[in-house]
Amino acid sequence: MWDQSLREITLGTLLDEAVENYPDNDAVVYVDRDFRLTYREFSHVVDQMARGLMTLGVKKGEKVAIWASNVPHWVALQFATAKIGAVLLTINTYYKEHELSYVLKQSEAENIFIIDGFRDTDYVRTLYDLVPELRTQARGYLNNKDFPHLKRVFFLGQEKHRGMYSLPELLALGGMTSDRDYQARRRELDPHDVVNMQYTSGTTGFPKGVMLTHYNIANNGYWIGEHQKLTHRDRICLPVPLFHCFGCVLGVLAAVSHASTMVILEGFNPLMVMTSVEAEKCTALYGVPTMFIAVLDHRMFSKFDYSSLRTGIMAGSPCPVKVMRQVMDKMNMSEVTICYGLTETSPVMTQTRTDDDIRRKTETVGRPMPEIEVQVVDPETNRTLGPGEQGEVCCRGYNVMRGYYNMPEETSRTIDADGWLHSGDLGVMDEDGYLSITGRLKDMIIRGGENVYPREIEEFLYTMEGVRDVQVVGVPSNRYGEEVGAFIILKEGYDYAPEDIRDFCRGRIARYKTPKYVAFVDEYPMTASGKVQKYKLREMAAELFPQAMR
């Protein structure tokens, strides 16, 4: 569709082009409810939402947080904010009050959209607990000392809640902003403006707000779609979270840049995945390996028709050869692709191609995307390494983030003076440029595609009475790639069981961060200089908890 490799384009223009070329093509479909919008209809909703935000005073550069599962209008908000120059701040649906508070403060968010809740967390109650003034102050004029920047709270649904704007109200307010003012705002935008912020654990410390521009993610989304050979005839089943780049870039922007149809699931459910694929004749399916395994192992698997499938994306963790073979043969996804990257790289830096063989789809994460340089360097000297040599994976190109929000030192530690972003991952590149990920320099745990930074959990567990020291590491897991494990030294006189530790975490930090495995020890393996040898703890964890690999 594009006649050049990179384009100076905003997300709003990207959508406008899809509408101009394929107005009657389905844009967004939900199989489990009566929800289907063509690109023309979808664009109308986006414009009404964008104008409503302008009517309420949302300015260019303001952050608009969204704490919601994949509900209808999530994607509309993604483009509505983009069209008025606001920054969509996506928040992990698993977050609890502690984590939400941190993100709202650190990001200086002025606005937030929420739904009623997710799993065991009541989002409405959480907001009232954090900002009790919502119940008493006039909407749009919040004044809370803990969140001094927060002005407006929206409910992404029909219901009315005190102090919050509902979705029908927001859409109705769209009529109060003139087309002249709306187009004038759009003319102020630049493709290199920040349009998206996502919080990631990165390589050190607490979560950081990764700032991504229109140019970053529009171009990355396009090439992700190109490598699946997407066209306006493709229909992509998206059961992956939209708050991740996997959903909102690999999914949404790959689709919109090719005017493909997005068949969205509110949350992952293997039966609904199979139903959606068959009902909508999906040609592509996205997921982490555990999602594909859950579909393949479902007792109803043989009852559904997968003949429409052709391609898709598997990402988040390595795929076992057996699973990949089943996906290609039993699910008809002969052209499935593998992607690798970081939120900081918009996110994809390498991808396999549709015609790559099964070995490359299971042993590698593909080769560099167009206009992106990827190299493997010696972590100590920064010397570029040759084929077959293990080192740190680095990349440079249009896809590298603007930086971490309000964290210049962390940004300079991640992106060097020559523009190379250091991933913290260890890898090997072969003679043909295919990259294999072999390990990590950083301590980060990746559980089923979710990044978990040990220090964040360690700091939290230090607040538990009786805990003298704690070290958190990844425990190898067949199902999730890794699970969270904690090695704890207790203070004298305290006697806890593993379940006591999990109880302390329950409801206070996200479930995926809660240690599944807990071991109480008297000391840690140390270096001569007194540093904890985490790699030895990881080895101990694999021996202590072999059940994780069953």
468 occurs within a structural domain: yes
Q: What pLDDT score was predicted for residue 380?
A: 83
End-to-end CA distance of the chain: 46
* End residue of a domain, out of 309, 330, 351: 330
Grouping H, G, I as helix, E, B as strand and the rest as coil, residue 481 is strand
- 481 pLDDT higher than 50: yes
Domain coverage including residue 86: 11-330
Q: How many CA atoms lie within 13 A of 285 on its CB side?
A: 29
Kindly report the backbone phi and psi dihedral angles of residue 79, in degrees, each rounded to the nearest multiple of 5, phi listed first: -85, -30
Tell me the CA distances in angstroms from 32 to 279, 312, 331, 386, 453, one per residue in order. 10, 21, 21, 51, 35
Does a structural domain hold residue 374? no
527: CATH: 3.30.300.30
Residue 392 counted as domain residue? no
Q: What is the mean pLDDT of residues 307-313?
A: 98
CB 350 within 8 A of CB 224: no
pLDDT in tens, 19-75: 999 999 999 999 999 899 999 999 999 999 999 999 999 999 999 999 999 999 999
Domain contains 140: yes
Are 319 and 450 contained in the same domain?
no
Q: Is residue 389 part of a domain?
A: no
Tens of pLDDT, residues 220-260? 999 999 999 999 999 999 999 999 999 999 999 999 999 99
**pLDDT tens-digit map of 337-383:** 999 999 999 999 999 999 999 999 999 999 999 999 999 999 889 99
Amino acid letter, 287: G
Domain boundary among 315, 330, 345: 330
The answer to whether residue 128 scores a pLDDT higher than 80 is yes
d(CA 292, CA 277): 13
- Does residue 550 have a pLDDT over 90? no
Q: 224-233, 318-327, 424-433: which has the highest mean pLDDT?
A: 224-233
Say yes or no: 322 and 451 in one domain. no
Asked if residue 199 has pLDDT above 90, the reply is yes
- Domain membership of residue 394 (yes or no) is no
Q: Does residue 375 fall inside a structural domain?
A: no
3-state secondary structure of 408: helix
Q: In total, how many domains does the chain have?
A: 2
Domain check: are 325 and 455 in the same one? Answer: no
Mark whether 321 and 455 lie in a shared domain: no
Residue at 186 is within a domain = yes
The C-alpha atoms of residue 85 and residue 62 are separated, in whole angstroms, by 8
pLDDT at residue 513, as a whole number? 94
Confidence of residue 539 (pLDDT cuts 50, 70, 90): confident
- Domain boundary among the residues 267, 297, 330 is at 330
Q: Are residues 322 and 460 in the same domain?
A: no
Q: What is the mean pLDDT of the chain?
A: 94
CA distance 507 to 120: 8
Buried b (16+ CB within 10 A) or exposed e, 500-535: ebbebbeeebbbbbbbbbbbeeeebbeeeeeebebe
Q: What's the pTM value of the predicted model, to 2 decimals?
A: 0.86
Beta strands in 445-497 (DSSP E): 445-447, 450-452, 467-477, 481-490
Check which CATH number belongs to the domain holding 156 and give it: 3.40.50.12780
Q: Which of 68, 73, 29, 70 is nearest to 50 (CA)?
A: 73
